[in-house]
């Protein structure tokens, strides 16, 4: 893996594509174990420049200059409330645009790098409603009204970011906060007392507007609502509005401390399962700059002898440096007050441990690359727990009303508990299961002769296989490289279950084009963040409206997350033309003990229902290459030429008509 060139799979594409599905999975799993996805190192450098140069330093310039602060005098503003308020608003805005998380090649976007706004600003693109019982959710295509709500949200957040702050003259609560900080009797640290008079708060009027727009969006389109990372940012934004205007600024600071800890502890709780240890080896394998290759291999039980189950190092990383640290350190940060248990020294050490935790995640460049979110949490940890010490009147016990701490944790704790029990009802993001390994997932198996039908779906980009070809990769090499993404899924427990469904129900799987659902749906909706509910039967039905697949041409194996400690995952076999044709389950224990490529055969599947239409499926694939090895019409930048979209559809329909005529 070089700086400029990616590491392509070390095999001749013809040999790879002639192999069976299980042989291909074994090869790419071994490749991933040593090299990760294989992206050129300059891609990782690009992400780091974007994160530290663009988001951190560029953001500091925007925030300080729009707030009347001196960007070079960091000591005077690092604890100023408006700074971290605007950083959070900026993070949410960039996520909603699509240029923060789920951006670029590591999120399955090879050209263009941005999905988000290119999709969500276009009427006619696919949207997904959160719940069918909402009366005015609209259909599965975005309307002008949806675009209006989206741009209303972006404008409101941008206005909040760029507006000058509220001063003590504007807000009585801020005047009281400044008086508290400057009173020597309160024992406030000098970095707060000396700069308190310059402290400001973000303008709340545009935030109120943004919250209204976002809630309206959320009732019609879960894609944008979750892409804006509402589960992470919406509650803090509400705190920015409520506490300074109705209570005290001190309450806002403490509420944000409580929220940070709730997120970390909830995420730590989600890792108490059989799925999490298998997350660690592929995460380490995908780390471009460290650890060395021999240590990456050591994360597996016996890499050289084809045992890719997690080894002792992986279990240590998962449940000591992961679960225990993520629960114990934040609780220490929140509840150690005064001189007990080492006082502020202990809090500072725990805070630095969590900063290291966030930086470690950044260093691994995880799929969907939530780098800005991790850096934001690292910054907020330092500002809140070191800049505003518990012992100086900023502990969880110092809120002005005793019910306030419980009100802050009520919503996230509800979603963690209910979302763990009923993962089919709550996004895994809201349930704080981002890294826990227990996710809803999907796998697409497409007949090679039919994949071109996806070009009929209206959107501003190409499928990944076409993006690769537009970049100059020949089809066979592009197909080989794209299947490396299947290794990431294979090395997690769900992959073994999904592969078992395909091996047991799709007899021509060796000759089909198999796509990782998370990657593939990126090209359909412009976003994914590991959320399998973005590519379940609702998305497949929306695709089918325009693609018009025949039975058996486009088959999806889809699985729900494991309900809390139930020991099984439920699955659906979905056909684009027929809908759900089979339901069943597999045991998580079986998946956790199987090798990624299932050398002992598919996992035992328990079928709980099968549609009478199941027998209508047709399995006729004989050659994975198919007739469409050349990329479709493009605009020269890697995206489908929107002006030529109708032409693409006409050509595809003409080809179909000709084929049918020949058959007749």
What span, in angstroms and rounded, lies between the C-alpha atoms of 496 and 591?
A: 6
Q: How far apart are CA 293 and CA 291, in angstroms?
A: 6
91 pLDDT more than 80: yes
Closest by CA position to 569, among listed 577, 557, 579: 557
Q: What global pTM score does this model have? A: 0.92
Residue 291's pLDDT band (boundaries 50, 70, 90)?
confident
pLDDT at 28: 97
The conformation of residue 198, written as its DSSP 8-state character, comes to G
Which band of pLDDT confidence, cut at 50, 70 and 90, is reported for residue 661? very low
Per mean pLDDT, which range of 24-28, 357-361, 624-628 is the poorest? 624-628
Mean pLDDT throughout 186-190? Answer: 93
Helices 343-364 and 371-382: crossing angle in degrees, nearest 10, is 170
Q: State residue 77 phi and psi, 5-degree precision.
A: -130, 0
DSSP per residue, 244-272: HHHS-HHHHHHHHHHHHHHHHHHHHHHT-
Q: Sorting pLDDT into bands at 50, 70 and 90, what band is 134?
A: confident
Q: Cβ contacts of residue 622 below 8 Å, gap of 6+?
A: 508, 511
| pLDDT value of residue 138 | 85
pLDDT-based confidence at residue 221 (cuts at 50, 70, 90):
very high
Residue 102 C-beta-side C-alpha neighbours within 13 Å: 28
Percent of the chain with pLDDT over 70: 94
Kindly report the three-state secondary structure assignment for every residue of 8-48: CCCCCHHHHHHCCHHHHHHHHHHHHHHHCCCCCHHHHHHHH
Q: Which of 326-340, 415-429, 625-639 comes out lowest in average pLDDT?
A: 625-639
Is residue 605 a contact partner of residue 611, using CB atoms and an 8 Å limit?
Answer: no
How far is residue 487 CA from its own chain's centroid?
18
Of 369, 380, 427, which is closest to residue 99 (Cα–Cα)?
369
Residue pLDDT, tens place only, 64-88: 999 999 999 999 999 999 999 999 9
Residue that wins the pLDDT comparison between 116 and 664: 116
Question: What is the structure's pLDDT at 535?
Answer: 96
d(CA 201, CA 80): 8
Residue 236: in which H helix or E strand, if any? helix 230-246
Q: CA–CA separation, 97 vs 150, rounded Å?
A: 10
Those residues with Cβ within 8 angstroms of residue 437's Cβ, 6 or more apart along the chain or in another chain: 271, 273, 275, 276, 277, 278, 279, 492, 493
Interval 7-28 mean pLDDT: 95
First-last CA distance in the chain = 51
Integer CA distances (angstroms), 138 to 126, 143, 524, 566, in order: 11, 9, 18, 35
Query: What's the mean per-residue pLDDT of the chain?
Result: 92
pLDDT at position 230 over 90: yes
pLDDT tens per residue across span 534-582: 999 999 999 999 999 999 999 999 999 999 999 999 999 999 999 999 9
Instruction: Provide the percentage of residues in the chain whose pLDDT is more than 90.
Output: 86
Name residues whose C-beta falls within 8 Å of residue 594's C-beta, 6 or more positions apart in sequence. Answer: 496, 600, 603
Residues 229-258, mean pLDDT to the nearest whole number: 97
Give whole-number Cα distances, 563 to 61, 189, 269, in Å: 45, 46, 13
Compute the radius of gyration of the chain from its Cα atoms: 26
Alpha helices in 493-612 (DSSP H): 493-505, 517-525, 537-547, 588-593
The arithmetic mean of pLDDT across residues 610-618, rounded, is 97
Say if residue 38's pLDDT is above 50: yes
**Is it the case that residue 633 has pLDDT exceeding 60?**
no
pLDDT at 630 (0 to 100): 62
Looking at residue 324, what DSSP letter applies? I
**pLDDT at residue 600 is higher than 60:** yes
Alpha helices in 273-423 (DSSP H): 280-285, 293-298, 312-316, 325-335, 343-364, 371-382, 404-421
Using CA atoms, how far residue 95 sits from 75, 229, 370, in Å, is 28, 7, 9
Task: Please report which confidence band the pLDDT of residue 644 belongs to, taking 50, 70 and 90 as the band edges.
Answer: very low
- How far is the C-alpha of 350 from the C-alpha of 353, rounded, in Å? 5
Residue 118's SS3 state is: helix
| Separation CA 486–CA 302 (nearest Å) | 21
For 303, left (φ over 0), alpha (ψ -120 to 50), or beta?
Answer: alpha
Look-up: residue for tokens 């400044």?
178
User: Which residues are bridge partners to 583 per DSSP?
Assistant: 572, 609
Nearest C-alpha neighbor of 556 from the set 512, 588, 522: 512
Residue 211 has pLDDT above 80, yes or no: yes
**What does the alpha-carbon distance between residue 620 and residue 551 come to, in Å, rounded to a whole number?**
11
Q: State pLDDT tens for residues 317-359.
A: 999 989 999 999 999 999 999 888 999 999 999 999 999 999 9
Structure confidence by residue, pLDDT tens digits, 155-180: 999 999 999 999 999 999 999 999 99
């Amino acid at each position: 893996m070089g700086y400029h060139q990616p590491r392509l799979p070390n095999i001749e594409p013809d040999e790879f594509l002639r192999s069976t599905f299980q042989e291909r999975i074994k090869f790419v799993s071994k490749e991933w174990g040593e090299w990760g996805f294989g992206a050129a190192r300059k891609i990782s450098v690009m992400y780091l420049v974007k994160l530290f140069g663009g988001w951190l330093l560029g953001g500091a310039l925007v925030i300080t200059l729009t707030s009347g602060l001196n960007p070079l005098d960091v000591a005077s503003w690092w604890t100023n409330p408006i700074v971290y308020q605007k950083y959070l608003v900026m993070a949410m805005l960039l996520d909603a645009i699509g240029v923060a998380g789920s951006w670029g090649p590591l999120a399955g976007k090879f050209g263009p790098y941005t999905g988000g706004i290119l999709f969500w600003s276009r009427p006619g693109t696919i949207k997904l409603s959160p719940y069918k019982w909402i009366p005015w959710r609209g259909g599965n295509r975005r309307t002008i009204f949806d675009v209006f709500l989206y741009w209303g949200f972006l404008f409101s957040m941008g206005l909040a970011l760029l507006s000058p702050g509220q001063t003590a003259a504007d807000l009585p609560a801020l005047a009281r906060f400044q008086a508290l900080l400057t009173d020597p009797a309160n024992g406030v640290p000098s970095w707060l007392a000396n700069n308190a008079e310059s402290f400001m708060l973000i303008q709340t009027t545009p935030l109120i507007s943004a919250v209204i727009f976002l809630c309206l969006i959320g009732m019609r389109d879960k894609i944008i609502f979750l892409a804006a990372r509402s589960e992470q940012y919406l509650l803090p934004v509400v705190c920015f509005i409520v506490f300074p205007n109705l209570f005290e600024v001190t309450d806002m600071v403490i509420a944000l401390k409580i929220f940070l800890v709730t997120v970390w502890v909830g995420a730590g709780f989600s890792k108490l399962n059989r799925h999490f240890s298998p997350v660690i080896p592929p995460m380490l394998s995908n780390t471009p700059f460290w650890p060395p290759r021999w240590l990456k291999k050591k994360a597996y039980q016996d890499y050289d002898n084809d045992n890719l189950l997690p080894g002792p190092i992986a279990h240590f990383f998962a449940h000591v440096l992961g679960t225990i640290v993520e629960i114990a350190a934040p609780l220490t940060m929140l509840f150690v007050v005064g001189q007990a248990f080492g006082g502020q020294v202990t809090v500072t050490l725990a805070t630095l441990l969590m900063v290291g935790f966030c930086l470690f995640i950044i260093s691994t460049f995880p799929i969907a690359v939530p780098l800005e979110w991790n850096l934001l949490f690292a910054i907020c940890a330092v500002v809140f727990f070191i800049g505003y010490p518990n012992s100086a009147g900023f502990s969880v016990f110092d809120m002005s009303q005793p019910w306030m701490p419980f009100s802050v944790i009520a919503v996230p704790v509800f979603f963690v508990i209910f979302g763990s029990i009923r993962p089919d009802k709550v996004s895994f993001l809201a349930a704080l299961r981002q890294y826990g390994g227990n996710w809803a997932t999907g796998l697409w198996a497409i007949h090679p002769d039919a994949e071109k039908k996806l070009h009929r779906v209206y959107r501003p980009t190409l499928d990944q296989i076409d993006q690769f070809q537009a970049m100059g990769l020949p089809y066979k090499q592009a197909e080989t490289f794209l299947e490396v993404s299947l290794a990431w899924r294979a090395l997690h427990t769900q992959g073994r279950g999904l592969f078992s469904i395909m091996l047991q129900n799709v007899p021509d799987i060796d000759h089909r084009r198999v796509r990782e659902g998370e990657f593939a749906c990126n090209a359909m909706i412009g976003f994914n963040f590991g959320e399998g509910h973005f590519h379940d039967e609702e998305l497949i039905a929306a695709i089918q409206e325009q693609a018009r697949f025949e039975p058996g041409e486009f088959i999806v194996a889809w699985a729900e997350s494991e309900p809390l400690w139930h020991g099984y995952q439920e699955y659906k076999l979905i056909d684009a033309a027929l809908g759900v044709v089979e339901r069943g389950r597999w045991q998580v224990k079986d998946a956790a003990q199987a090798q990624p490529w299932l050398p002992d055969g598919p996992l035992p599947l328990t079928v709980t229902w099968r549609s009478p239409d199941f027998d209508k499926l047709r399995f006729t694939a004989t050659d994975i290459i198919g007739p469409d090895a050349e990329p479709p019409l493009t605009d020269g930048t890697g995206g489908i030429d929107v002006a030529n979209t109708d032409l693409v559809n006409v050509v595809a329909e003409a080809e179909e008509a000709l084929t049918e005529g020949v058959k007749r």
